Chains A and B, each alone.
Chain A
């Protein structure tokens, strides 16, 4: 009596002439398992990413009067309105200013804090916790508290007053309002980037610094020649996250300045919200959201392409 060894399949024995190849091969079973694992994610992406994207494009071709209940096809009228919008320049300027300010301040401060807190000194754990704690605080609560601090007669100016400095009306000045919103956002999220930088710094081999010290390299030279190149993948990651996040800022603007004074802090997402939900121009709001999507996509692709130039190594 012979027994067929099913573990030795056609791959090793070769197909038996005149006998059908079994459908459920190991390869197919593995493929099915893989597809089943990613099905929830694919469904989620289809329903919550792809479909809304298609919907937004569809809405941008329509004039939707919510109150009147009308939904009329207008073709490219909303895109023409975009080209003719007198506010768009100011809005894009404010958006760019916020993004640049946030990225520069956030990454620089996060890296500085990470380098400082990477030292083997007493109390670093406490400081790491302190700097990270705003990340877990409710964004709106954080912003409201900062709103009080930044008032003309608020906490910050009272503090400045004690050292004889007459502080500005932070949220009312065209220049200081944007600076205030950036600073509030930097302090909110700097801890997250700081933790990522800390993790990267701890992955830099100590022997590289030792070798550099033997060669007589200064601390600053070590930082630029060893630290920055070796943590460049993390710099890349944090810059993408921060840039994308900066383009989506909303709650801070809504709570602190409502886009003012003038239109100095009216960033694209806030303008989109105004057009769609306050002015009831839902079609135009959809068109603006496509502009936002295009900007985010372009910047992300650009950053991804630039990694070849300045990211030291990638696995």
Chain B
């Protein structure tokens, strides 16, 4: 009798567990009958960004009474993807979501996102063919587009020209004019400016000796790659990577051109002579702060190159309002709204990738800066490293690279160690 009662109790608990599992894994598939309430997760809480998004959403809702609300839900940048997947696991998936380029393979290949081709192609006046094929590559699978690359943002070098001039160095603009804008010269200039000012030389923003994928802005100049094109073979111990990382190690610990590990320096607060970052950070420049310039990445031993960061916008397949969400995405990214978004996010539309168009919405940047850094960068750039299972790979690479950030590190041995760690993951 007692055993029967115990069994009944376990059965009830398991039934509850199953019910909760269904809720957790299912993710709200039941469609509401009333007007849809859409939610889009974003990683920007910038007021100007949200104001523009809300203006576009309000305009959409005027002609779409079936959508009662469109809410933009900013999640913290640092834990964006983790928070997003936790929301999905908890059955609270958004209808639309921004996706980082490093998560693109996971989101696109898993089937989490709804294909967008048909909706976008059918949208009135959308001009689907205007989208640059190069910008779509990361977001396609089996010929279908799973996210719209709303931002393709090249990396450039912001320079504190006041600090460089005070150190008696040629400015990057002068070095470019002389055909001498190379990493060797850039690091020498940064080291001199840092030594003279007592501040930092060059900061690779968001790297901080942890976010190693930002180093692709550096090692691509040596022709190095984190992994092969097919993603199966580790590239960290290639001769090109060893050479690039040896240069970076010397620049950090011998030349002191970069602030060492555990030292923070914010270029936009005037703490460093140069920073490698994306043009969207231009908004952080304060009027009357210091003289500055934006120039392309320096040439490496393999010549000129460009690196871009991308962000996609997709519709979650499990959204109960996936149809309305896709329709809103088409409106949000149509030529008119794409031009508005271009002031913050370089668009994938070829017709809008002109210095004249971008200059209208990027008042802080000169047309030649936009041409050299943005337009040429998008046209010729390679995207930052991305791979299926990127989070696990990223963690393994981070842990493997940690011994490199010591003054007496054996660069080749450390990079061999990185490959030993990640090769099994790449081979999966």
Instruction: Point out residues on A near B: beta carbons under 8 Å.
Output: 50-51, 54-55, 58-59, 64-69, 71, 151-154, 169-172, 258-263, 274, 277-280, 282
The 6 closest A-B pairs by CB, nearest first: A152-B262, A67-B110, A261-B402, A67-B112, A279-B392, A68-B110
Q: Is B17 a contact of A152 with CB atoms below 8 Å?
A: no
Contact of B16 among A51, A66, A152, A172 (CB under 8 A): A51
Chain B nearest CB: distance from A292 CB in Å?
A: 19
Contact of A260 among B14, B106, B210, B391 (CB under 8 A): B210
20 pairs, A vs B, C-beta closer than 8 Å: A50-B13, A54-B13, A55-B17, A55-B20, A58-B18, A64-B25, A66-B89, A67-B88, A67-B112, A69-B112, A69-B318, A153-B262, A172-B405, A258-B210, A260-B210, A260-B402, A261-B402, A261-B403, A279-B392, A280-B106
A277 to B405, CA, bound (A): 27
**Is B76 in the interface zone, CB < 8 Å from A?**
no
Chain B nearest CB: distance from A255 CB in Å?
A: 10
Chain A nearest CB: distance from B30 CB in Å?
A: 15
Q: Is A68 a contact of B261 with CB atoms below 8 Å?
A: no
Interface range for B? 35 or more
Q: Is A68 a contact of B21 with CB atoms below 8 Å?
A: no
Contact of B395 among A64, A68, A278 (CB under 8 A): A278
Q: Is A152 a contact of B85 with CB atoms below 8 Å?
A: no
Q: Is A69 a contact of B27 with CB atoms below 8 Å?
A: yes
Contact of A51 among B13, B82, B392, B400 (CB under 8 A): B13
Chain B: CB-nearest residue to A254 = B79
**Is B268 in the interface zone, CB < 8 Å from A?**
no
Chain A nearest CB: distance from B393 CB in Å?
A: 9
Q: Is A280 a contact of B391 with CB atoms below 8 Å?
A: yes
Q: Is B17 a contact of A260 with CB atoms below 8 Å?
A: no
Question: Knowing that A51-B16, A69-B318, A260-B402 are A-B contacts, what are 14 other residue pairs whose CB atoms are under 8 Å apart, sorted by A's residue number?
Answer: A54-B17, A66-B89, A67-B88, A68-B110, A69-B111, A151-B264, A153-B263, A258-B398, A259-B399, A262-B400, A274-B395, A279-B389, A279-B392, A280-B85
Name the interface residues of B380-408: CB closer than 8 Å to any CB of A.
389, 391-392, 395, 398-400, 402-403, 405
A212 to B299, CA, bound (A): 81
A135 to B153, CA, bound (A): 44
Name the interface residues of B81-132: CB closer than 8 Å to any CB of A.
82, 85-86, 88-89, 106-107, 110-112
Residues of A within 8 A of B106 (CB): 67, 280
Chain B nearest CB: distance from A172 CB in Å?
A: 5
Chain A: CB-nearest residue to B317 = A69
Main secondary structure of the interface of B (DSSP, over half): helix
Q: Is A262 a contact of B402 with CB atoms below 8 Å?
A: yes
**Is B260 in the interface zone, CB < 8 Å from A?**
yes
Residues of A within 8 A of B27 (CB): 69
Residues of A within 8 A of B88 (CB): 66-67
Instruction: Point out residues on B near A: beta carbons under 8 Å.
Output: 10, 13-14, 16-18, 20-21, 25-27, 82, 85-86, 88-89, 106-107, 110-112, 209-210, 260-264, 317-318, 389, 391-392, 395, 398-400, 402-403, 405
Chain A nearest CB: distance from B199 CB in Å?
A: 11
Q: Is A171 a contact of B262 with CB atoms below 8 Å?
A: yes
Chain A: CB-nearest residue to B103 = A67
Residues of B within 8 A of A258 (CB): 210, 398
Q: Is B399 a contact of A262 with CB atoms below 8 Å?
A: yes
A274 to B391, CA, bound (A): 9
Residues of A within 8 A of B389 (CB): 279
Contact of B21 among A55, A154, A170, A279 (CB under 8 A): A55
Q: Is A172 a contact of B391 with CB atoms below 8 Å?
A: no
A298 to B317, CA, bound (A): 44
A54-B13, A58-B17, A71-B25 are known contacts. Are A151 and B399 too (CB-CB below 8 A)?
no
Chain B nearest CB: distance from A259 CB in Å?
A: 7
Q: Is B85 a contact of A277 with CB atoms below 8 Å?
A: yes
Contact of A151 among B18, B86, B111, B263 (CB under 8 A): B263
A69 to B402, CA, bound (A): 35
Q: Is A262 a contact of B403 with CB atoms below 8 Å?
A: yes
Chain B: CB-nearest residue to A154 = B262
Residues of A within 8 A of B13 (CB): 50-51, 54
Residues of A within 8 A of B110 (CB): 65, 67-68
Residues of B within 8 A of A67 (CB): 85, 88, 106-107, 110-112
Q: Is A58 a contact of B21 with CB atoms below 8 Å?
A: yes
A222 to B402, CA, bound (A): 50
Q: Is A277 a contact of B399 with CB atoms below 8 Å?
A: no
Residues of B within 8 A of A282 (CB): 89
Chain A nearest CB: distance from B407 CB in Å?
A: 10
Q: Is A68 a contact of B112 with CB atoms below 8 Å?
A: yes
Contact of B261 among A54, A169, A262 (CB under 8 A): A169
Residues of A within 8 A of B18 (CB): 58
Chain A nearest CB: distance from B198 CB in Å?
A: 11
A169-B262, A278-B82 are known contacts. Are A260 and B107 too (CB-CB below 8 A)?
no
Chain A: CB-nearest residue to B262 = A152
Chain A nearest CB: distance from B139 CB in Å?
A: 15
Chain A: CB-nearest residue to B107 = A67
Residues of A within 8 A of B260 (CB): 152, 169
Residues of B within 8 A of A64 (CB): 25, 89
Chain B nearest CB: distance from A288 CB in Å?
A: 14
Chain A nearest CB: distance from B82 CB in Å?
A: 5
Contact of B263 among A65, A152, A274 (CB under 8 A): A152
